[in-house]
Chains A and B, each alone.
Chain A
Amino acid sequence: KNEVEQSPQNLTAQEGEFITINCSYSVGISALHWLQQHPGGGIVSLFMLSSGKKKHGRLIATKNIQEKHSSLHITASHPRDSAVYICAVDRIQGAQKLVFGQGTRLTINP
């Protein structure tokens, strides 16, 4: 079983729609990251969460420690938001390497 599970794997929506991507994890973590990967392959860090909620522009990330769950929301989605969104966690044990989810491929159509 994967330590980090994301859903959905693929998501297609129309411009302007509210987007939610979910992440569940099964291990003890010190932090959770939301990352964005564009077709060229580079990874950009969007959020690092210890707990609670963070907002940056149209992006909102929430984390529920008890339920071991996080969500990434995109408001007023735009075609330029099309990318793969990856959830990754910093495990408490070990060298604090990141453990990655499989990613959610988001496509926003105009």
Chain B
Amino acid sequence: EPEVTQTPSHQVTQMGQEVILRCVPISNHLYFYWYRQILGQKVEFLVSFYNNEISEKSEIFDDQFSVERPDGSNFTLKIRSTKLEDSAMYFCASRLGGPTGFFGPGTRLTVL
């Protein structure tokens, strides 16, 4: 069964450093998403991506965040200068055209 994969599973970084979280969506999917979950809180939408551009972003997704689909298979989330409050689980999701149903296993980001 096709699945969304994410790397790394756990990333530890120092405050102020740049991190790139990687996702490989299901190959024929067209819509891509990043969500995050701060420990003990609910999952929140960050950004959606379609046709090589951002289709919607939340208030959380400020200038420190960017997304890219550099090679037609990977979908990356970059945080330019990490803050302590960026520590969270980051989930990638993809869909073909129907409702979202495919999540990656998540990357746990710890900012020290």
Contact = CB atoms under 8 A, between A and B. Distances in A.
Interface of A: 30-31, 33, 35, 41-45, 48, 86, 88, 90, 94-103
Contacts, number: 62
B45 interface: yes
A86 B91 CA distance: 14
Interface string B63-102: 0000000000000000000000000010101010011111
Interface of B: 31, 33, 35, 37, 41-45, 48, 50, 55-56, 89, 91, 93, 95, 98-103, 105-106, 108
Contacts of B89: 41
A97 B42 contact: no
A98 B106 contact: no
Contact of A30 (B48, B91, B99): B99
Given A43-B91, A95-B55, A95-B56, A100 B99 contact: no
A99 B101 contact: no
B35 to A, nearest CB: 7
Given A42-B106, A94-B56, A98-B35, A33 B100 contact: yes
Of B41, B44, B100, most A-chain CB atoms within 10 Å: B100
Contact of B106 (A31, A41, A97, A101): A41
